[in-house]
Structure 1
Amino acid sequence: MPRFLLVAWLGRAALAVALAGAGPAVAAAPSLDGLVLPAGFQIAVWSDQVPDARAIALGAKGTVFVGSRQAGKVYAVEPAADGRHGGTVHVVARGLEQPVGVAFRDGDLYVSAIDRIVVLRDVERDLAAPPKPEVVTSAFPKDKHHGWKFIAFGPDGKLYVPIGAPCNICDRGKDYAKIVRMNADGSGIEDVAFGVRNSVGLAWHPTTGRLWFTDNGRDMLGDDVPGDEINRLDRVGAHFGYPYCHQGDLPDPEFGEGKACKDYVPPVRVLDAHVAALGLRFYTGSQFPAAYRNALIVAEHGSWNRSKKSGYRVMVARLDGDRITAYTPLVDGFQKNEQARGRPVDVQVLPDGSLLVSDDLAGALYRISYGG
């Protein structure tokens, strides 16, 4: 059997099934023609009614919550009865400033909005009449450059929030380019990692409990450097190099003078330059083959300023202990002939072991399944 399998075009009948129960379409369903997956895997449109779809979170009742950036909305997608497709889409919050990040805990939905975190209490009680957002904290910077935030609750019960650098390259001290954590009520904000330019993905290893995260490298040093990064936090307060050192071994031409890369934590994996690695999750389901168990699934959003596009795919990082031993495509082909056909943002394992992928270009969620 060949290693890779070209996804067949979706006929009208199959598309109708995929969108059953989803309500009126807001746009034509994205074409999956030309996407490439390993043998045995399939991809289908789960919902095409989530404009500007960004980060994903799962509710206790199976609701799929999705943030956005430019749309200013937070969506709640009820799964269809068969679980294989999205059903009714609700807008549970609107008018927020770049509400990219969503995190669900104890019935409540937490949402990032540049300088603040808001919460929708008991959000699944009535998705058609959602509660008004309450401000948890407004303690974060107001800068919009890298100001949108992926958020997630860690195994310690605290909410983790990246604070991106407000620039391509600058040194603004310890108020920026870091990851912080706080209690669910907004109290006890503390720094956990420094030297992180712009992380848009956080995940905890299911057995070690350690935090892994993506970081987007700086621009304007050429097509091929610096690489994006996958990092692991082993010690609270660790510094990962920005703005002094990139990809573990590349001193910055402006801010690196007098600094040594050996003084900073190197990446676990240096990725290709400008791929824009965003959301990541450990695969904890049982539907995929055993080789995928506890592998790290990474969404590469794709480059915006490289002379030849890079990224535009979903990748699998296989681990041996704390090392990444392989980094291979799960879905490839979101760009063709230098034209973007989709831009993966986040990934989320569903209860049945399938995997959702958000695409902000198409305003869609895709479901990746294996063997059926």
Structure 2
Amino acid sequence: MKSVRPTSSPAAPADSYYRKREDWSGSSGKLNISVFVFRDTNRSGRYDLGDRPLASVAVEMRSAGEEVVVKQSNIAGFSNFEMSTSEEASLIQKPGRRTFEVIAPPGWVVTTGNAVQEVEFVALAGSVAGLICLQPPQLVGLAPVLSVRATLDLASMGGEDLDLRRVQGNTSPGNDAPFIWQRQRQGRGHEFSVRCGAGHFELVHGRFARPVTVGSFPAHVGDLNADREYAPDVGGDWRTIDFESAVQAGIGKIPNGYAGMGWDNFVAVDNAFYQGEGYVNGTISGRMVTYNGSGHPAEVLHENGFDLLGCHLTLGWIRAEGELAVIEAFQGDVLVAVDRVELSALGPVWYEPRFRNVTRVRFATEHYWQFIMDDLVVRV
């Protein structure tokens, strides 16, 4: 509150502006007690350099005689529960024991071993909210279950089963078990849940062998076709386009020529600009990502042809969870490949089509929602 003193009055003593508190008997403020949720990129069970806040994860708070309260983590990773002994609208108004539980999304696991935490609140007069925690909730790490997805072009692949074979791997902390996979099959689709660390694999179908890289996120290779030539990940100069310098300000259309490529309807943006969960959860490096402007199709091009190894794709908004990305690759005017990849706003899928010598790749979504792309790997 601003105080006003007549200009003609004598100067007030300095200590009148900086009074020390003498009465600590009450509290009239409020504050948040928070559970911080993060993406445990290296699955170490610790919040390390390279880990990132995870948005839109549900956290339950339970206590005896009270209704269960659910909060979602915000784009900074905090699920906030307001506490105050003086504010009737606060969620926590009195001392007692409360249980906080992080509800892992389907396909995710808690890596820190503390999905459920018991927290004791006690009264303390003179504190901001009148309540304090004896031990505030500890941060909680999550990581996606690693998997490899593929569909089969039946005309070229025949009826043989698809298998996954490990070629070379780097076991990650907490994932040092031997290579084990479990396959699920539905029509042309195959999914392998991989219980091991990151590494190099092959999808094997008779004499056909197609490389795939498993990193920190689930992988999708698209439609396997024995008649198609796939780009190898060795030889040549592969470039990772991270969009950090794509525009001058925090948002803008990506201009043609950026990173030596052509761009149509791709917008680069700071991941916090829209306050969207997918924009934050889909960031792999730095702060900038790209998305399809107004949810409409977008293309990356090079008239002389280029190889596209892969990119990370995430859904922009969780209210469209399960939206399908449709990716079409062209050589001139000839359509050479069409893939459909299910997206999530909770985190990326590593889409690895290994397109060889294409001139443009069109990215769209079935219902015209925004997708997020980061770390696109190409070579010209």
Flag whether TM exceeds 0.5 (same fold).
no
Question: Which structure's residues are more often strand, by fraction?
Answer: 2
TM-score by length of 1: 0.26
Rg comparison, structure with higher value: 2
